[in-house]
Every structure is written in structure tokens, then in C-alpha cells.
Copies of this chain bind each other. A is one copy, B any other.
């Protein structure tokens, strides 16, 4: 690492995730001031981050510039975060890797191995073989599951927000072989509106969202493939449904599983506590306390709680996280910390 700290850059610093990422990187103790690139369409003449986010004004100048490889090179960038739409990430990442940059991509561009699951993205790669090879090298950046691989990763595929909440809730039970998969798993997930991005659409209009609640993308959500691949499940073993909450941010997922044998609440809790023993960003709740969306907002925590049927066979899990932090930018910083061998918690306090 160069003297004075790592030089990171963010492409797409003006979306919701990109802005959260910029905020985190600006105060990260191991970094030089990051380069922040904006998307042309969202600039409106902005030259400073605080032009778009007056929340930040009074804390010094943070310039925004148009993305260019030249600027990355001139500033000696080491690490490039892509907070860009997946088709942009699919185009930029190979070139960044070719130029020797390490890359953390927050989009869905590099998360999926299986061409089947990836089909919904309709990627049109300039060099399909190279893209395939890079896909194979990409590390799925869920630190609680892939801490070791991250150390050497050149391309990290930062997980989807919903996927993070679902995988972290299920992984300990599946790893411990506690779940009766023959009866299937249900993941009923609910997210705040920032998960839909900053682009104004009829679906994000205040009047359509407030006083409302709706399900969407049943059987078709793109995060389904991530959950299946990471947990080694078959499609028929998982119901995954997403809903839009009338709140700005936060995810709560309610998961339903049948256990293979009757268990006590203490058994279940122990399974989680053991699994996340060294994971500072997963908080396991002791029943009857359950996570709520508010508890993890503005933090990088994924909170997990549960309730067990008196017969000890049926289990309801609740997992919560902030979709812009543990579900996106916070997790990206956590991944960066692991890539560079720093404490996982640096800059996320």
C-alpha cells in the first residue's frame, strides 16, 4: 500500500448506494480522499458532492468528476468501486481488472455463476469468453461466508441486499444440516424504497408508495439466483417474495423452515452464535426479542432473531439490515477491509 493510504475511487457516487459509499470512504482512516465519479445524467451541473447532498455541506470540498480511466491512472487509484447499473459494471470491470485495479462491484453483474440464473440480466458482453473467465474469478463478497477468499480477490461481487438478509439467516442452519429441505423454505422479504434506486419512476412516487404496501417480482426476482447458488439450494426448495415498504430504507425478511428434528430455542440460538462467533456485524437476538427494521438502520449490522414452535419443529427467522449499508455500501467497505487485511470494522464504527 502506498504511503498516505489507499487511493479508492467510486464510479456512480451520486446514486443512493454510491453516496453512502462516498460518505463511508471519506471518513475511512486508511484511505486518501476518494475519487468520486458521477453519472452524466444525474449531475445537473453539480461539481461538489454537497451540491447534490447538502447534508454534507460545511465539511469541506468534495469534488465530483466525470468518469475517466485517465483520471484513475493520474491519481494512482488502487481500488475501484462500481456503484453503477449492472450493464455498466459488466463493461467497466474487465477493463479495470486489465489495468490492474482491484474492483468491488455493487451491482448484480458478477454475482452469478450459473448461466441460467444470469439469463435474466441479458448481458451482452463484448468478449463473452473473457467475461466468463472473469465471472469465474469473481468472489461473492459476503464476508461472513467468504472471508478467506476476499483477501486475494481482484474482483469482488458485492451481494444483493435481499440476498444478504436471506443468506445470513439461513447459512448457519443449512451448514448445520438442521433444515428439512423436503418441505421447502419460504423467504418473505420486505424492503424500503431506496432499494429501488434514485431514478424517479411511477413505482417510487411518494403518492404511490405512502399508505401502501405491495408484493412484486414473485418467482422472478434477480436476487433469487444468488441465494440459491450461495446456499446450494434447488429452485424448488425456496419461495422468495419481495415487497415494497413505505419507508426510505431497511429490509426485514421473515423466513420459514421446518427442522429435521425437534430442537430447543437454545439449540437454535447456539447454532447461530457459533456460526457468527467471529463476525462483528451479525447480531443474534435471544428470543423472545426480535429484530426490527429500526435497530440496524444506519449501521452495518445484520440482525437475526427467531421464534420456535412449541413442538420444536417449525422455525420462523427474522433478519434485518440497512439495505444501503450491510445491503450495499457498508458491506462493500467491509469487503475492502478484508481485501487489504485491515480490521473488518475499520471505518464502519
Contact = CB atoms under 8 A, between A and B. Distances in A.
Interface of A: 16, 54-55, 57-58, 183-184, 186, 188, 190, 193-194, 198, 200-202, 204-216, 218-219, 236, 239, 241, 243, 245-250, 252, 254, 256, 258, 280, 283, 285, 289-299, 301, 303, 307-311, 313-314, 316, 318
Contacts of A204: 200, 205-207
Given A316-B218, A316-B241, A55 B299 contact: yes
A241 B254 contact: yes
Q: Name A's interface SS.
A: mixed
Q: Which of A16, A193, A211 has the most CB of B within 10 A?
A: A211
A54 B292 contact: yes
Q: Shortest 3 CB-CB distances between A and B: which pairs?
A: A200-B200, A218-B307, A214-B292
Given A190-B243, A205-B206, 6 more contacts: A58-B301, A183-B183, A208-B294, A213-B293, A215-B318, A246-B246
Give this chain's copy count. 4
Given A200-B204, A206-B210, A214-B290, A246 B247 contact: yes
B213 A252 contact: yes
A183 to B, nearest CB: 5
